[in-house]
Amino acid sequence: MGLEMEALGYHYIVEASGCDPEILSDPIKLRNILLKAARIGKMDVRTTHFYKFSPMGVSGMVVVTGSHISIHTWPENQYAAIDVYICGSESAPEKAIEYILETLGAEYAHVTELERGIKDNDVYTHAILSWDESFERSKNQER
């Protein structure tokens, strides 16, 4: 008898490098990007919260039905840490991530996908898959 191991949730951890520092510094632009990413990813938005740090950097979260999309930015390093967590299989988190990376102007991304909540007998565990993506973007390319 085969043991079917289905995940309750999928957590994508994204390290985005070479991003546009102007966008990474703007909580309003980041909120709009994450809201559109949620729509593209077929996620129902429940609430948002974004905070601009001094002198720079933004942390923000979009809470969606079944979980969240979050971002933490370091404009001085052209770096963003992005998390997308979803439960179930109705949404399209990869499309949301693709839109976020494109809109931030990311040149490179390291992505880790965790399948979370895998029941193994009476305990829960997770499985991990990682990959890298490079993007050919001109610094003058419109974003």
Question: Where in the sequence numbering do the catalytic residues fall?
Answer: 67, 72, 87
CA-based nearest residue to 37, from 103, 90, 135, 105? 103
Which distant-in-sequence residues (6+ apart) come within 8 Å of 117 by Cβ? 7, 8, 9, 124, 126
Q: Estimate to the nearest angstrom the gap between the alpha carbon of 44 and the chain centroid.
A: 15
Which distant-in-sequence residues (6+ apart) come within 8 Å of 72 by Cβ? 57, 58, 59, 80, 81
Contact 127, 117 (CB under 8 A): no
Q: Which string of DSSP letters, residue by residue, matches 132-143?
A: EEE----TTS--
> What residues does 114 pair with on adjacent strands?
11, 128
